Chain A
Amino acid sequence: MRLPNRACGLRAAIVLLAVLLPLSAAHAGKTLEQIRQRAQLVCGVSTGVIGFSSADSQGRWNGLDVDVCRAIAAAVLNDPNKVKYVPLNAQQRFTALQSGEVDLLSRNTTWTLTRDASLGLHFTAVTYYDGQGFLVPKKLKLTSARQLKNAEICVQSGTTTEKNLGDWFKAQGIKVKPVVFEKFEASIKAFFSGRCQAYTTDASALAFIRSKEAPQPDDYVVLPELISKEPLGPVVRRGDDEWFAIVKWVIFALIEAEEYGVTQANVEQMKAGSDPAVQRLLGSAEDSGKLLGLDREWAARAVKAVGNYGEMFQRNVGSASPLKLPRGVNALWSKGGIMYAPPIR
């Protein structure tokens, strides 16, 4: 994916060294134990993507990806604040996870075959279905990305974006010139100064860039095409199936909570309700946590910490946020979207 990317060569070097040194090897099945021992979840996040993971002026992290970390910390450690956030740029992120520097990578990362099958990682679940789009100046009077013949397109490196661009325009038989910047700031500055005829990244970020970074938002328009599928979600290291299951099922629990109408505010009342599915989710009937190596209240605590998936969405990227993104495909399956969690039973 995309966005600010304060390159820290030193950190990259440290992370690389960590892979090289045999002493730091992380061992299978021990992630949960380590997290409990240090009483802290170490979560790899972005270096600043509004709505997904960014630090505010007091240094507090927030966003959809950050809420996933908080929910997991609540489920595992009984405290959503026991999380250490490690900002990682696109180049560092996988190495940091592979080397054991972070327990979990929750950093708007696209699930692809190459990443899932060759990096020693497991993608857990999708927390946001995104797609790559284009932002263009209105005065070029473009109505489709197919009209971008010979255009120069500004893009930030370190993402799946460049390859999507190559693939899509090749399929269309159109030649375009990417102008690739390492840093987000430079890439949008170049675009808004008129260096490129289009800017490309994931649609969720385009909305933000248009409304917050453009000198005149009305002078720019997002083209209708989405040229790629970008399912974003948290990633864990291979070799620890228990931890993989915990991360996956906390996310499923948040989605299922929305489905059953369990919210941050009503979670206590719902525990006492009569719906067996809700009781199973919240641990008031069966103990669903035991199978995961957690206690029976794990999901209830997660929902209490960050709300259900719908609440997380509204607060961070939806109508209650500056991004104002529509739910679209990220709505529940029962409401016309594709967010679907396997049953908790």
Chain B
Amino acid sequence: MQGQRWRDLTIQALLAAGLLAALWWLLDVTASNMAERGIRSGFDFLTEPAGFAIGESLLPFDSADSTLRALAAGLANTLRVALPAIIASTLLGTMIGLGRLSPNLLLRGLCAAYVEILRNVPLLLQLLAWYFVVTDLLPLASEAVQLAPHVFLSKSGLSLPWFGGDAGLFDLPLQGGMNIVGGAALTPEFLALLLGLSLYTAAYVAETVRAGILAVPHGQSDAALALGLTRVQLFRLVLLPQALRSIIPPLTNQHLSLTKNASLAVAIGYPDLVSVANTTLNQTGRAAECIALIMAVYLILSLLTALLSNWLERRSGRWAERS
């Protein structure tokens, strides 16, 4: 037994060492090829001024700030759209998934139609459609509609009063000639991306939820109903705790896909991480470095999401045992 274990460990260690060596070789060859061709490489550009502006940013950003800050602003924009979209798609998807199991024929049909239409049209097309519908329908910025005092709706987006600004505690949007000035704006790019990602992912979440619930043996429902539980009690006490265990892992996949799909933002003008990195790549010419950075950031985001979901899964396992 002991010998077998040692042999396994040795093989694994050798494999890992081989992989690392291959990776090292690849990086080394890349670096020396680039040096031989007079291509400057390295990450020194990150500390230099970016030189370009970013249209909307959670992180205050000016073109004189560093490229690293520009990329951070891009990452903040990615998270700004991905996190609300994850929450919205999970809530909507759960409702639609349950709707597909409803005894009501009309509700069941509507939910099935939603899932089939949304998940069978490419996301990029959906985003472009939402974006151009949103921008075509809204009035020009110079003719913005005032929904409430200091709340404007136009092609420039939804302008709302926000904290801070030069004037004092509140920064109020004002009609300023050709555009709305001040306040915080939810731009059409942001809204279209949020809407598109949430609706698209909700279709997959719905299927995940439906599958998870159907995976609970039918006898469980029959037994619960025979014991006199109401449908709500049946769902809350019997089905959900058992279903969650099979729902959470595939649900994590959907959340990961959503975060990665957020990079389609470049198509509709939302300055996410990929959009900012593309601009950086063009200004600096550091293709390998910029692509490596994007990959590393998405890898870290995905690993963090996976860790969080593993933790949730363990918790839900305990919950299922308790209840």
Query: For the complex, is B40 an interface residue (Cβ under 8 Å from A)?
Result: yes
8 A Cβ contacts from B251-290 to A: 266-269, 271, 275, 278-279, 281-285, 287-288
Report the stretch among B31-39, B88-96, B226-234, B238-246 that lies at the interface. B31-39
Tell me if A181 and B282 are in contact (CB < 8 A): no
On chain A, the residues within 8 Å of B37 by CB distance are 26, 98, 120, 237-239
Q: When chains A and B are docked, how far (Å) is the Cα of A21 from the Cα of B267?
A: 31
Query: For the complex, is A95 an interface residue (Cβ under 8 Å from B)?
Result: yes
Query: For the complex, is B207 an interface residue (Cβ under 8 Å from A)?
Result: no
Query: For the complex, is B60 an interface residue (Cβ under 8 Å from A)?
Result: no
Tell me if B267 and A22 are in contact (CB < 8 A): no
> Beyond A94-B285, A177-B53, A179-B189, is A151–B179 a contact (Cβ under 8 Å)?
yes
Task: Return the contact of B53 from the options A95, A120, A166 (Cβ within 8 A).
Answer: A166
Query: For the complex, is B141 an interface residue (Cβ under 8 Å from A)?
Result: yes
Q: Mark B32-64, 1 if CB is under 8 A from A, else 0.
A: 011011111000000000111111100000011
Query: For the complex, is A197 an interface residue (Cβ under 8 Å from B)?
Result: yes
On chain A, the residues within 8 Å of B54 by CB distance are 178
Query: For the complex, is B248 an interface residue (Cβ under 8 Å from A)?
Result: no
8 A Cβ contacts from B7-33 to A: 26, 29-30, 33
On chain B, the residues within 8 Å of A21 by CB distance are 29
The distance from the CB of B77 to the nearest CB of chain A, in whole angstroms, is: 12
Q: When chains A and B are docked, how far (Å) is the Cα of A140 from the Cα of B179?
A: 10
Report the stretch among B128-136, B195-203, B303-311 that lies at the interface. B128-136
The distance from the CB of B27 to the nearest CB of chain A, in whole angstroms, is: 9
Tell me if B179 and A154 are in contact (CB < 8 A): no
The distance from the CB of B79 to the nearest CB of chain A, in whole angstroms, is: 19
Tell me if B285 and A158 are in contact (CB < 8 A): no
Query: For the complex, is A16 an interface residue (Cβ under 8 Å from B)?
Result: yes
On chain B, the residues within 8 Å of A91 by CB distance are 278, 281-282, 287
> Beyond A118-B39, A158-B278, is A195–B283 a contact (Cβ under 8 Å)?
no
The distance from the CB of B14 to the nearest CB of chain A, in whole angstroms, is: 25
On chain A, the residues within 8 Å of B135 by CB distance are 190, 193-195
Closest residue of chain A to B49 (Cβ to Cβ) is A166
> Beyond A20-B26, A25-B33, is A179–B55 a contact (Cβ under 8 Å)?
yes
The distance from the CB of B245 to the nearest CB of chain A, in whole angstroms, is: 36
Tell me if B156 and A186 are in contact (CB < 8 A): no
8 A Cβ contacts from A22-80 to B: 22, 25-26
Query: For the complex, is B155 an interface residue (Cβ under 8 Å from A)?
Result: yes
Task: Return the contact of B155 from the options A90, A140, A167, A195 (Cβ within 8 A).
Answer: A195
Query: For the complex, is B142 an interface residue (Cβ under 8 Å from A)?
Result: yes
On chain A, the residues within 8 Å of B64 by CB distance are 170
Q: Mark B132-166, 1 if CB is under 8 A from A, else 0.
A: 10011000111000000000000110000000000
> Beyond A158-B282, A180-B279, is A150–B288 a contact (Cβ under 8 Å)?
no
Q: When chains A and B are docked, how far (Å) is the Cα of A178 from the Cα of B55?
A: 5
Closest residue of chain A to B180 (Cβ to Cβ) is A150
On chain B, the residues within 8 Å of A118 by CB distance are 39-40, 284-285
A-B pairs with beta carbons under 8 A, tally? 144
Query: For the complex, is A163 an interface residue (Cβ under 8 Å from B)?
Result: yes
8 A Cβ contacts from B149-197 to A: 155-156, 176, 178-179, 181, 187-189
Task: Return the contact of A25 from the options B36, B189, B283 (Cβ within 8 A).
Answer: B36
The distance from the CB of B44 to the nearest CB of chain A, in whole angstroms, is: 11
> Beyond A150-B181, A159-B282, A178-B55, is A186–B267 a contact (Cβ under 8 Å)?
yes
The winner among B34, B128, B287 for most chain A CB atoms within 10 A is B287
Query: For the complex, is A242 an interface residue (Cβ under 8 Å from B)?
Result: no
Query: For the complex, is A287 an interface residue (Cβ under 8 Å from B)?
Result: no
The distance from the CB of A196 to the nearest CB of chain B, in whole angstroms, is: 8
Tell me if A193 and B53 are in contact (CB < 8 A): no
Query: For the complex, is A183 an interface residue (Cβ under 8 Å from B)?
Result: yes
The distance from the CB of A88 to the nearest CB of chain B, in whole angstroms, is: 12
On chain A, the residues within 8 Å of B179 by CB distance are 150-152, 197
Query: For the complex, is B299 an interface residue (Cβ under 8 Å from A)?
Result: no
Tell me if A166 and B63 are in contact (CB < 8 A): yes
Query: For the complex, is A277 an interface residue (Cβ under 8 Å from B)?
Result: no
On chain A, the residues within 8 Å of B142 by CB distance are 140
On chain B, the residues within 8 Å of A238 by CB distance are 37-38
Beyond contacts A119-B39, A158-B282, A190-B135: 11 other A-B pairs, Cβ-Cβ < 8 A, are A20-B30, A157-B266, A162-B282, A162-B283, A163-B52, A177-B56, A180-B266, A180-B275, A186-B268, A195-B155, A197-B178
A selection of 30 A-B contacts at a CB cut-off of 8 Å is: A16-B287, A19-B33, A20-B29, A22-B29, A25-B33, A94-B287, A98-B39, A114-B285, A118-B39, A119-B40, A120-B39, A150-B176, A150-B179, A152-B179, A154-B269, A158-B278, A166-B51, A167-B63, A179-B187, A180-B271, A181-B268, A182-B278, A183-B267, A186-B267, A187-B269, A194-B141, A195-B135, A197-B179, A238-B38, A239-B38
The 3 closest A-B pairs by CB, nearest first: A166-B63, A120-B39, A120-B38
